[in-house]
Amino acid sequence: MSTLMDRIGDEGTLDDIIARFHEKLLVDDLTSPFFKNVDSERLHRKQHWFLTMVFCGKSEGVAYYMQESHAELVRNMGLNETHFKRTLEHLESSLVEAGLGADLIAEIMALTASLEDPILNRNAKKL
Ligand code: HEM
């Protein structure tokens, strides 16, 4: 069965999506404060790694990893569903602009949306 990554086509497209996504997050007053102290090169690499992993279908442990990497943001900066929804909108428009098909976009969005609870540290789990 082909993975999401196969269907996206190539890494170049992934870079394009990530670049667009980051630009949107950084110019939006609602989301930009969260990224103020984050080295954007570092975040770019990590987002790339994350998306590659998800797109390739090797997503075990992702929920816990997402919970831990956003825990401080929830605790100290009030990260909540408003920020999450806006971030999803930015991801979706990046996928549209990068030229992905509607079915593929729907699949990626469903997958990302399913991470809402761990990212917002609802029912936080310990490993
Ligand atoms: C929508 C789904 C989201 C995904 C897939 C995602 C993915 C990631 C990944 C992979 C990392 C790197 C974790 C690491 O350090 O190893 C990360 C970090 C981060 N995320 Fe998210 N994230 C999402 C939502 C959000 C939202 C809604 C915000 C805030 C508006 C946000 C803000 C951040 C920040 C500021 C970091 C950097 C933390 C640091 O390195 O100090 N994320 N995210």
Model pLDDT, residue 71: 96
- Which residue's C-alpha comes closest to atom 41 of ligand 1? 38
pLDDT 10s digits, 23-78: 999 999 999 999 888 887 887 777 777 777 666 665 667 888 889 989 999 999 99
Is residue 102 a part of any domain in this protein? yes
Q: Where are the beta strands (DSSP E) in the chain?
A: none
**What's the pTM value of the predicted model, to 2 decimals?**
0.90
Residues at CB less than 6 angstroms from ligand 1: 31, 34-35, 38, 43, 46-47, 50, 69-70, 73, 79, 83-84, 87-88, 112, 115, 119
Is residue 127 a part of any domain in this protein? no
Tell how far the Cα of 87 is from the centroid of ligand 1, in angstroms: 10
**Buried residues in 80-100 as b, exposed as e (16+ CB within 10 A):** eeebbeebeebbbebbeebeb
| CATH number where 48 lies | 1.10.490.10
Tell how far the Cα of 47 is from the centroid of ligand 1, in angstroms: 8
Name all contacts of 8-14 with Cβ < 8 Å and 24+ positions apart: 8/55, 8/100, 8/104, 13/98, 13/99, 13/100, 14/48, 14/51, 14/52, 14/55
- Are 61 and 127 in contact, with CB atoms under 8 Å apart? no
- Are 32 and 26 in contact, with CB atoms under 8 Å apart? yes
Structural domain including 97 reads 4-119
Is residue 125 a part of any domain in this protein? no
Task: Return the percentage of the chain with pLDDT > 70, whole number.
Answer: 87
Tokens coding 125 = 């789990």
